[in-house]
Amino acid sequence: MSEKIYGLNTVLVLAVVFIIVGAGIGYGVSWAVGPGAVSPTDLGTLKAGFIYVGPIGDFGWSHAHDQGRQFVDDRYDWLETVYLESVPLDQTGNRIDYLINEQGCDVVFTTSYGYMDATIEAGGDHPDKMFFHCSGYKRAANVGTYFADFYQLYYLNGLMAGALTKSGKIGYVAAFPIPELIRHINAFELGAQEVNSSVTCEVKWLLTEWYDPVAARTAAESLIAAGCDMLAFTEDSPTVLQVAEENEGVYAFSHYSPMQSYAPTSCISGQLADWGVMYEDILQKIYLGQYDNTNLADVDYLWLMKEGGVELGGLFDVPINTLFIDDLDAINVTDPILGELSVYDLVMKRIDQMTDINVVFEPFTGPIYDQADMLMIEAGERATTFELLTITWFVKGVIGDPTP
């Protein structure tokens, strides 16, 4: 009996000693290492805040981001999301503070290029939180960047526009002359030139808002009056498509959201983004502790066709409106490498090449000349990611000065 008690006592004493020693070692280690990386996963839940530049009902950029937010929010119980829409650029810092201080967000996504400096500043003000800025190039220990870019899709749209244009003039309604739009306009024109070297692309600048259906209508109508019969655009409403649908012989490409239903007989193709998969990737990595507030300085997502962040079409899973497939199949072009083939086959081939793991085709491959006939990209060379993200010059064949 007493031996048994003795044995039990030994076990208890040993347990207490181990606990004390273990706690001491643990404390000592944590003291020596200092406060570790803060991971919100300790709490078991994650709260993400989103800041949008336009209204979520714009059916363009902000709408697409919000679709992505809802996708991840519905999918994971551990995730809570909140958003603020139509946040003016100069209110960014203030709204980030609100999301963190009042809403308790662990991570904030700022979804406009113009939010770049404010996001970096907020990263300094809130070193224990995480930030992700969409479409910028500045990062910090707790600020990462992410983007799904459309330039490959605009190039593919350009191939179709260049083949189908009757007047040899294609048009582009553009909100602001920022690098993203300049890149897209250039890609659109490069695609068109590949199948029809004399095509010019006329650009009308809105310079007002990202969401401005009234100005977009005026711009589209003036492009049509100038003879353009193929229209692409970057403005966050389906207005340009509606204008194309109203005008006989004018066709357009959907932008950002599946807008083909607004112009069933005039929408040839378009560009679609799926932000949900990217938000899922980022938030899961945060949840699992792979990303924290100390290691984001090199986290830079740039998802193109290969990663599945973007896809061709005016409707999901419909890369080309079926009404136009026969027309594209009937036009033949000669490619120096691929030989003679139809434009439809060329588009499909380019999709394969750009979704290939090695991306065997890049639209911005030299020689590419700017409007002043200066050689900007040497023959055989590809533009770097940084060059593309900060591009400020237009390729030869683009008409339209953004200065009023």
Partner 1 sequence: MKLRFIEIKMKKRGEKPTFMLSVIIRLLSLAMGLGVVAALFLLQGVNPLLLYFNIFRVAFFTQYGLAETLSRMIPLLCIGIGLSVPFRAKIDNIGAEGQFLVGAIAAAGVAFSFPDLPAVLLIPLMFAAGFALGALWAIPVAIFRVMGKFKGADVVLSFLMVFPAYLLIVYLVNGPWKDPEGWGFTQSPLFPVNSQIWQLPGTRIHLTILLVLALTFLIHYYLVRTKEGIPETKLGYEINVVGENPEAGAAAGINFLKIALITMIISGGMAGLAGVGEVAGNLLRLRPEISTGLGFTGIVVAWLGGLNPLGIILSSLFFAGLLAGGVEIQMAGLPVTVIDLFNGSILFFVLLAEFFMRFKIEWRILK
**Candidate residues 7, 26, 57, 127; the one interacting with partner 1 per rule CB under 8 A:** 57
Start-end of H helices in 126-178: 151-164
User: Minimum distance between the CB of residue 101 and partner 1, rounded to whole angstroms?
Assistant: 5
Residue 219 token pair: 């711009």
Distance CA 222, CA 366 (A): 32
Residues 17 to 56: which contact partner 1 by CB under 8 A? 55-56
Q: Helix (H, G, I), strand (E, B), or coil: what is residue 336?
A: coil
Q: How far apart are CA 188 and CA 204, in angstroms?
A: 14
Point out which span in 126-134, 140-148, 179-187, 370-378 binds partner 1 (CB under 8 A).
179-187
Instruction: Pick out residues in 92-121 that bind partner 1 (CB under 8 A).
Output: 94-95, 97-98, 101-103, 113-114
Evaluated on CA atoms 216, 221, 223, 228, the torsion sign reads positive
Q: How many CA atoms lie within 13 A of 28 on its CB side?
A: 6
Token output for 285:
């990595």
- Judged by beta carbon, residue 211 or residue 291, the one nearer partner 1 is 211
β 200-205/398-399 pair status: parallel
| Footprint on residues 260-279 left by partner 1 (CB under 8 A) | none
Q: How far is the CB of 181 from partner 1 (least distance, A)?
A: 8
Under the binding rule (CB under 8 A), the answer on residue 147 touching partner 1 is no
Confirm if 266 and 245 have CB atoms less than 8 A apart.
Answer: yes
Nearest-approach distance from CB 222 to partner 1, in angstroms: 17
User: How many residues touch partner 1 (CB under 8 A)?
Assistant: 34
- Output the CA–CA distances (angstroms, integers) from residue 403 to 86, 202, 391, in the order listed: 26, 14, 17
Write down the least CB distance from residue 287 to partner 1, Å. 23
Q: Is 9 in the site for partner 1 (CB under 8 A)?
A: no
Q: Which of residues 199-258 bind partner 1 (CB under 8 A)?
A: 207-209
Name the residues that contact partner 1, by CB under 8 A. Answer: 55-57, 82-86, 88-90, 94-95, 97-98, 101-103, 113-114, 176-179, 181-182, 207-209, 390, 392, 402-404
